[in-house]
Amino acid sequence: MEHDIAPQRRFDIGRILRREPLTALAVLVLLAICFMAIFAPWLGTTDPIALGTAPRMASPSAEHWFGADQIGRDLYTRVLYGARVSLIVGIAVSVISIVIGLAIGLVSGAVRWLDGAIMRVMDGLMSIPSILLAIALVAIIGGSLHTVIIAITIVEFPRVARMVRANVLSVREHLFVEAAVTVGSTMPQIIWRHILPNTVGLLVVQTAYIFAQAIMIEAGLSFIGAGVPPETPSWGNIMAEGRVLWQVKPGIVLIPAAFLTMAVLAVNIIGDSLRDALDPRQNH
Amino acid sequence: MLIYCLKRILSTIPVMIVVALCVFSLLYLAPGDPATVLAGEQASSAEIEQVRIALGLDQPFPLRFVEWSKQVLSGNLGVSIFSGIPVLELIRQRLEPTIALMITSTIISVLVAVPMGILAARHHNRLLDRIVNVVTALGFSVPVFVIGYVLAWIFAVHLRWLPVQGYSPISEGFADFLRGIIMPAIVVAFSYFSLITRVTRSAMLDVMRQDYVRTARAKGISERSVLFDHALRNASMPIVTVVGLGVALLISGSLITETVFAIPGIGRLTADAILRRDYPIIQGVVLLFSLLYVLVNLLIDLLYTLLDPRVNFQ
């Protein structure tokens, strides 16, 4: 029986997918969207930016699956390329936020005299409603893929830093850390051997949530005109352009909306099941 | 307790200073020199020079920040580059629809979410609980503007029950106001509602495992009284806290939803300001809404301190 309660919980992806069909579906959806994004040029698409590749306002047809927008761009093409923008933003923001948040959280949790100041700055950043901070940053620096990524990262990393810090503080209280101190381990050693392994699970789950959040914020920013440049095909931009005519041509708004929702939902479901898998105690 | 309240009030000051510093620094992130940015795109070099002197750009950064903070504290948020109207005045003109939207959403969210969370906790792991879980998962994952278009498509374009867009002020009749605001308010409420429901549910589940709830049941108290007098009262702390924290969702949601429904509020003001690169408006909106967020949470904390005899004043 003893190996059952080993502290290192094995994490079997195959078992999770068999037990949770919803998660399996979410993984499939996410993979499909990744496939779309990567192979967009070879999936029967035209030029996503050039005008007049389709008749203006064309209805969905065999040739133009999702129809076309008011300046004659094939919607199917633009939605596929839009997946690229969302995924790039999602990946970049989650990776950078986790790295920065981890570094700041560790420093804050380990170095007592810096803790107060760092946390006040994090509190301040978190007091600005996320979309508003991102809007301000993009509007002022100027809209590009880089600035959108930077802006959303600034919104997301303080939460990671706070969580990592809280985790450091709670792990520090454990007997094994005290034991490590007693046998003469230095702080960097303790962080590396004890605190970091105990933080990885938390970070994996957060990566998923930040990914989902980043996709949503990017679309929101583009939608209100503070995102990637308007000619870039991103789901938020396509919806923003479709806004004027959406009562006549709801597809231009609703199709990218459906893709956006599926992507966010899939990533959130994956995040939830990662959370449950890594922390079975929390069953609600 | 008075000391605790004072401490809590004072603790918002460093937070607001950081917020102010962020907002102030924003201008210096803009490409090019702030004077050129503030003078607008068509400004002559003389005008730029004027703005430069007015901004005190020859002064060191900390000094400029202090000077700017004094202005802000005295109610001067600068003037719009585009219209030359003071930012505070522009915000005041557009405040009503946004605040109305936020308040209506809050009422809808809290009124639906708390009973829903209690029901879900009572029917833990049964059908109703599952349904609530799915609905709240959607609430976290469907972006506000997507919900907005889907609802508008169903209820305004197809069923024609409600106006597609627009806002009718309360002063022009409550019925029209309600018809206009109800759909945007539900849209904004969706994520806020999901957050409150989830927290209510898990707080209730935690409390219902406690010994005093078992004791209450053992005493033969009606289930109703157990739920409301014993469980809900003790679960109220996380619920009330999350109502405050969720105000951030409410603010972000309102700003975007206004664009969907063409509501002439702060969200439209901001969107227009983005198009015109009207930085003082953006700064002013960020500053005021962050202040609102911090103050709402302060108020909730203080209120809770007064209402709950168990709060520890350390």
Q: Where are the domains of chain B?
A: 99-264
Best of B125, B272, B274, B288 to substitute, by most chain A Cβ atoms within 10 angstroms, is: B274
Question: What are A127-181's pLDDT values in tens digits?
Answer: 888 888 888 888 888 888 888 999 999 999 999 999 999 888 888 888 888 888 8
- Please give the ipTM for the structure prediction: 0.82
Three-state SS sequence of chain B: CHHHHHHHHHHHHHHHHHHHHHHHHHHHHCCCCHHHHHHCCCCCHHHHHHHHHHHCCCCCHHHHHHHHHHHHHCCCCCECCCCCCEHHHHHHHHHHHHHHHHHHHHHHHHHHHHHHHHHHHHCCCCHHHHHHHHHHHHHHHCCHHHHHHHHHHHHHHHCCCCCCCCCCCHHHCHHHHHHHHHHHHHHHHHHHHHHHHHHHHHHHHHHHCCHHHHHHHHCCCCHHHHHHHHHHHHHHHHHHHHHHHCHHHHHHHHHHHHHHCCCCCHHHHHHHHHHHCCHHHHHHHHHHHHHHHHHHHHHHHHHHHHHCCCCCCC
Question: What are A216-260's pLDDT values in tens digits?
Answer: 999 999 988 888 888 888 898 888 888 878 777 788 888 899 999
* Closest CB from B18, B150, B164 relative to A123: B18
Question: What are A75-104's pLDDT values in tens digits?
Answer: 788 888 889 999 999 999 999 999 999 999
B162 vs B56 pLDDT, higher one = B162
Q: Which of A102-106, B74-78, B287-291 has the lowest mean pLDDT?
A: B74-78
Residue B56 CB partners (closer than 8 Å, separation 6+)? B63, B64, B67
Q: What is the model's pLDDT at position A1? A: 36
Residues of B in contact with A123 (CB under 8 A): 14-15, 18
Mean pLDDT taken over chain A: 83
* Closest CB from B22, B157, B273 relative to A128: B22
Mean pLDDT of B27-33: 72
User: pTM of the prediction?
Assistant: 0.85
Question: What are B107-127's pLDDT values in tens digits?
Answer: 999 999 999 999 999 888 889
Beta carbons of B142 and A264 less than 8 Å apart: yes
pLDDT bucket at A64, cuts 50 / 70 / 90: low
Min Cα–Cα distance to chain B from A19, Å: 17
Beta carbons of B267 and A224 less than 8 Å apart: yes
- Fold for domain B99-264? MetI-like fold (1.10.3720)
Counting one residue from chain A and one from chain B, the pairs whose CB atoms sit within 8 A come to 146
Q: What is the model's pLDDT at position A264? A: 93
Beta carbons of A264 and B15 less than 8 Å apart: no
Q: Assess contact for B248 and A134: CB atoms under 8 A.
A: no
Residue of A nearest to B200 (CA): A284
Mean pLDDT of A191-196: 83
Residues of B in contact with A136 (CB under 8 A): 23, 26, 282-283, 286
pLDDT bucket at A5, cuts 50 / 70 / 90: very low
Q: What is the model's pLDDT at position B192? A: 92
Beta carbons of B138 and A265 less than 8 Å apart: yes
pLDDT bucket at A7, cuts 50 / 70 / 90: very low
Asked whether the predicted pLDDT for residue A65 surpasses 70, the reply is no
State whether residue B59 is helix, strand or coil.
coil
Min Cα–Cα distance to chain B from A245, Å: 12
